[in-house]
Structure 1
Amino acid sequence: MTVHFPFQNSYSALPDSFFARVAPTPVAAPRLIKLNRPLAVQLGLDPDLLETPEGAEILAGKTVPDGADPIAMAYAGHQFGQFVPQLGDGRAILLGEVIDRDGVRRDIQLKGSGPTPFSRRGDGRAALGPVLREYIVSEAMYALGIPTTRSLAAVVTGEHVIRETALPGAVLTRVASSHIRVGTFQFFAVRRDTDAIRRLADHVIARHYPELSGTERPYHALLAGVVARQAELVARWLLVGFIHGVMNTDNSSISGETIDYGPCAFMDAYNPAQVFSSIDEMGRYAYANQPRIALWNLTRLAECLLPLFGEEQDKAVEQAQEILGAFPETFSKAYQAGLRKKVGLFTERDGDEALIQDLLDAMAKNQADFTLTFRRLGDAAGDPAADDARAEFMDPAAFDEWARRWRERLAAEPQSAAERQTAMNAVNPIFIPRNHRVEAVIQAAVNNDDYAPFEELVKVLARPYEDQPDYAAYADPPLPDQRVLQTFCGT
């Protein structure tokens, strides 16, 4: 049998200015190293056929499947605050779209599939390390319950790419609700192409916000919808200690999914100013800055949509500012609600925010591990004798003082201790993609062609909220000599 993709290509039916038609560049000897079988089934694909040599050739870009309409999407973007009028898919090619089993339209894209007209003198290829990192982290984010792009497959190409040294080449098959970004709107706004902006906005509404079709002011409602989704998205990833790394406007998805996992990382010790990305020299995208940056990016989207708001510029600006003004409250509501759940508070009372902030302040001062502190609070909530959480603090007395007030507050909650612990464990993961674990996996694969550590890590991270005694070591923070201080983009 032949591998079949039931493509329906709506984006490539838009005007030619939206993309460049370009086929993937064939590779020498593709070899499948990982297929996400459950995701393949969800997409209506046959995982057994995808695991054949024919499937590997498609997933590496060596063969273009029937029905595909390969394109590289055009977009612009603010990169670390500096506007670049033309970026686009420089090493990614969208094969097409499929309708999954839930009726959701999903892009299937190859990353590392060769040069495009947007490659900016790059080779269009990807090294194995960044492909494995994106596979691991994107699937971990999915398991954590955070809207995200997904990874369908990773393939080695049988060729090398040249970065600082020669590295194994690889291709990632990425799945997304779409790859439309704030930067996609900016591409047309800087060219003053209002017709294209309207066409793009209509496409986005039909694809991602169909409930807005036919409303009196659909473009205002579109901005409001994107603002709400982005506010909730950033709140959710802050609650698990995630740092995006490159929150540029070209990495800000209109659908409300986390996209692009280059130099991303999860915090070990809690530090609001934490930065890992080697290219974020000024800390623009530090952990605590991410809500502010999300609003900044959304303001750039609002600027693009202004021509669709009406001919009166001042009135359009006022309306956009009002919509953007909803971001802080939407974010704060989602973030504070998530924090209350993390500490076992399922009702609201005056003083809750201050109590939780006191914990965060003590964690920062005492270099407490973000993930384990909250997870072990669940144990302490279930058993007053459990004191593992205090061991995360350099000065355990700082935890004791806070825990006394916390227990007084818990006494006013209606749940039993067992119910509270279960509820807390459902929102406080024990397993995250620890940076040192991800790096160890990459080194084993790159240096020794050994994918067993990768397979095991992916397996553990698929159940982040469950105790897995056989893999308990994966919950441990790094030893001093294992700490990863910087992460890299990989392009």
Structure 2
Amino acid sequence: MSFWNAFSITTRYAELPRSFFTYVQPTPLENTRWVIWNSKLATQFGLPEEPESNTELLSSFSGEHVPAVFSPLAMKYAGHQFGGYNPDLGDGRGLLLAEIKDKEGNSVDLHLKGAGLTPYSRSGDGRAVLRSTIREYLCSEAMAGLGIPTTRALGMMTSDTPVFREGYETGALLVRMAETHIRFGHFEHLFYSNLLSEQKLLADKVIEWHYPQCIAKDKPYAAMFDEIADKTAYMIAHWQAVGFAHGVMNTDNMSITGQTFDYGPFGFLDDYEPSYICNHSDYQGRYAFNQQPRIGLWNLSALAHSLSSLIEKSDLESSLEKYETRLGHYFSQLMRKKLGLLSKQEGDSRLFESMFELLSQNSVDYTRFMRALSYLDSQDKQTVVDLFLDREAATLWVELYLARCEKEDKSAEIRCKEMRRVNPKYILRNYLAQQAINKAKDGDYSEIKTLSMLLASPFDEHPRFESYAQLPPEWGKKMEISCSS
């Protein structure tokens, strides 16, 4: 009897017509072995806390032996990449293995990234390298720790298989979990290929699987799009509030359930720089940090166009018109919590604006500043002022801020305690990820495990690991990362 027969495994995406995907068996790597296993996430699905306790886990996820209950497939989709439509996209190195239900009955995709060639690999080799796999594992778990909608990482494996990028690197595999791997680009592919009956079928399945509340609506497809637009605004508001730059917001990297998806050249802000570009291939700054809200709307507009055969123009436009208001509302809520200013008072907008202006003009570390504000119940205001070059302007702002805090109906102690629950002490700075990558190249995975532990609870103090909350060294600031993986 297979180990997997004890679990609730489905392959519902494989029941769609063959125009949606191609069956592909994963191509195993040589001498595959675990780097890290997400024990806490695993137990939510009844999986073992330690992967070594069941050898079938490694053989199943490495592709050496595909369980009968799995149905590996590569999805076909398209997408707008840096603003230009590309019809020739699909899962070029990842396979949807199956869906598994957690203990509460929620169905989640099991996906293997780096599984080998598929019909959609184009000129690629279908592989992922250790470097990028570490980054995705750490960042998806960092985002989960911050409470931001995201795909998850169940585990990652390394191997003895060499993979060529700029030079030879180590082939690796990531087991990714997501509410769904359906992207904006799925609908774009079906629309531009004139597969409109298939597109209607996909919309029906998306509603059935992910938006059942829309079934009873007068206009179910319009309600579905409105939900997607709202979830996208919610996700991007969280990115902006925490200082996260995705780096490659192509429509094929946009989830229809509003989860942060496909971690490539991402970066968290160090010095506050609104125009920060983390992707060294983004020569025009299309996906700069401060452009993300606008690009979210652009991508939703592209999705709306592809749904125009199902949804009336007026309904699409209505949802698009609400996007900026929704995003602004979510962002304002998040920033008020971060600043401990939950009531609305006259002059708040200017206080917020002047804060961001000061941060930008003085190149102040965003995370460090927000965390410092949350200690003003026990530390002198000078600890915040000293983060700025222009101490006079900083002193004036802090005094205005503290005066504004006095108008809140709670003590400084309670206010700051609540602020420390939403202002992280630890984020995945790119230099920290790079240090973990450097050690992993020598077979030392300890840094990956340490970072995973810290990023799972980023609001806690972790006194033994204070160095991970320090400002980055000069070489580690504003690192630009390649899309290559």
Number of the residue aligned with 2:3: 3
Number of the residue aligned with 1:117: 119
CA contact (8 A) 1:342 1:374 kept: yes
Number of the residue aligned with 2:474: 480
1:256 lines up with 2:258 in the alignment: yes
1:271 lines up with 2:267 in the alignment: no
Number of the residue aligned with 1:331: 327
Please show how residues 60-79 of structure 1 align to structure 2 within 5 Å.
60-79=62-81
Q: 2:394 aligns with which of 382, 386, 399?
A: 399
Cα deviation, 1:182-239, whole Å, max 9, x if unaligned, reads 0010010101111111111111111111111121100110110001000011001211
Number of the residue aligned with 1:17: 19
Number of the residue aligned with 2:226: 224
- Hey, what's the Cα distance between the residues in 2 that align with 1:235 and 1:142? 15
1:214 lines up with 2:216 in the alignment: yes
1:2 Cα deviation from its structure 2 partner: 4.7
Number of the residue aligned with 2:309: 307
CA contact (8 A) 2:37 2:51 kept: no
Please show how residues 70-89 of structure 1 align to structure 2 within 5 Å.
70-89=72-91
- Hey, what's the Cα distance between the residues in 1 that align with 2:381 and 2:104? 43
Q: 2:436 aligns with which of 421, 435, 441?
A: 441
Number of the residue aligned with 1:385: 380
Number of the residue aligned with 2:45: 43
- Hey, what's the Cα distance between the residues in 2 that align with 1:390 and 1:65? 59
Cα deviation, 1:255-280, whole Å, max 9, x if unaligned, reads 11000101011010111100111111
Number of the residue aligned with 2:96: 94
1:367 Cα deviation from its structure 2 partner: 0.5
- Hey, what's the Cα distance between the residues in 1 that align with 2:293 and 2:150? 17
3-state SS, counterpart of residue 382 of structure 2: coil
1:29 lines up with 2:31 in the alignment: yes
Cα deviation, 1:448-475, whole Å, max 9, x if unaligned, reads 1111111111111111001111111111
CA contact (8 A) 2:110 2:176 kept: yes
Please show how residues 332-371 of structure 1 align to structure 2 within 5 Å.
332-371=328-367
- Hey, what's the Cα distance between the residues in 2 that align with 1:389 and 1:463? 24
1:121 Cα deviation from its structure 2 partner: 2.2
CA contact (8 A) 1:31 1:158 kept: no
CA 1:325/1:484 → structure 2, altered by over 3 Å: closer, same or farther? closer
- Hey, what's the Cα distance between the residues in 2 that align with 1:256 and 1:263? 19
Counterpart amino acid of residue 412 in structure 2:
A
Counterpart amino acid of residue 357 in structure 2:
D
3-state SS, counterpart of residue 59 of structure 2: helix
Between 1:460-469 and 1:46-55, the stretch displaced more is 46-55
- Hey, what's the Cα distance between the residues in 2 that align with 1:473 and 1:102? 38
Counterpart amino acid of residue 35 in structure 1:
W
Number of the residue aligned with 1:168: 170
Counterpart amino acid of residue 402 in structure 1:
W
1:467 lines up with 2:461 in the alignment: yes
CA contact (8 A) 1:35 1:51 kept: no
- Hey, what's the Cα distance between the residues in 2 that align with 1:395 and 1:260? 39
- Hey, what's the Cα distance between the residues in 1 that align with 2:434 and 2:473? 14
CA contact (8 A) 1:36 1:152 kept: yes
Gaps of 5+ in 2: none
- Hey, what's the Cα distance between the residues in 2 that align with 1:51 and 1:265? 35
- Hey, what's the Cα distance between the residues in 2 that align with 1:434 and 1:280? 20
3-state SS, counterpart of residue 201 of structure 2: helix
1:423 lines up with 2:425 in the alignment: no
Number of the residue aligned with 1:317: 313
- Hey, what's the Cα distance between the residues in 2 that align with 1:482 and 1:13? 47
Number of the residue aligned with 1:312: none
3-state SS, counterpart of residue 174 of structure 2: strand
- Hey, what's the Cα distance between the residues in 1 that align with 2:102 and 2:425? 31
Number of the residue aligned with 1:235: 237
- Hey, what's the Cα distance between the residues in 2 that align with 1:44 and 1:354? 50
CA contact (8 A) 2:48 2:54 kept: no
- Hey, what's the Cα distance between the residues in 2 that align with 1:61 and 1:433? 30
CA contact (8 A) 2:37 2:50 kept: no
1:291 lines up with 2:293 in the alignment: yes
3-state SS, counterpart of residue 87 of structure 1: strand
Cα deviation, 1:92-123, whole Å, max 9, x if unaligned, reads 00100011112211000000010000000211
- Hey, what's the Cα distance between the residues in 1 that align with 2:99 and 2:475? 45
Counterpart amino acid of residue 322 in structure 1:
S
CA contact (8 A) 1:2 1:49 kept: no
- Hey, what's the Cα distance between the residues in 2 that align with 1:61 and 1:267? 37
1:175 Cα deviation from its structure 2 partner: 0.3
CA 1:484/1:287 → structure 2, altered by over 3 Å: closer, same or farther? closer
Cα deviation, 1:367-387, whole Å, max 9, x if unaligned, reads 00000100000112x136243
Number of the residue aligned with 1:452: 446
- Hey, what's the Cα distance between the residues in 1 that align with 2:345 and 2:104? 39
Gaps of 5+ in 1: 310-315
1:50 Cα deviation from its structure 2 partner: 5.8
CA contact (8 A) 1:263 1:488 kept: yes
Between 1:336-345 and 1:371-380, the stretch displaced more is 336-345
CA contact (8 A) 1:144 1:429 kept: yes
CA 1:53/1:75 → structure 2, altered by over 3 Å: closer, same or farther? same
Counterpart amino acid of residue 324 in structure 1:
L
1:357 Cα deviation from its structure 2 partner: 1.1
Number of the residue aligned with 2:184: 182
Seq. identity, %? 38
Please show how residues 128-147 of structure 1 align to structure 2 within 5 Å.
128-147=130-149
CA 1:366/1:51 → structure 2, altered by over 3 Å: closer, same or farther? farther
- Hey, what's the Cα distance between the residues in 2 that align with 1:321 and 1:146? 27
State the number of aligned residues.
483
1:48 Cα deviation from its structure 2 partner: 4.0
Q: CA RMSD in A?
A: 1.3
Q: 1:375 aligns with which of 357, 362, 371?
A: 371
TM-score for the superposition, normalised by structure 2: 0.97
Number of the residue aligned with 2:207: 205
TM-score for the superposition, normalised by structure 1: 0.96
- Hey, what's the Cα distance between the residues in 2 that align with 1:218 and 1:338? 30
1:44 Cα deviation from its structure 2 partner: 2.8
3-state SS, counterpart of residue 88 of structure 2: coil
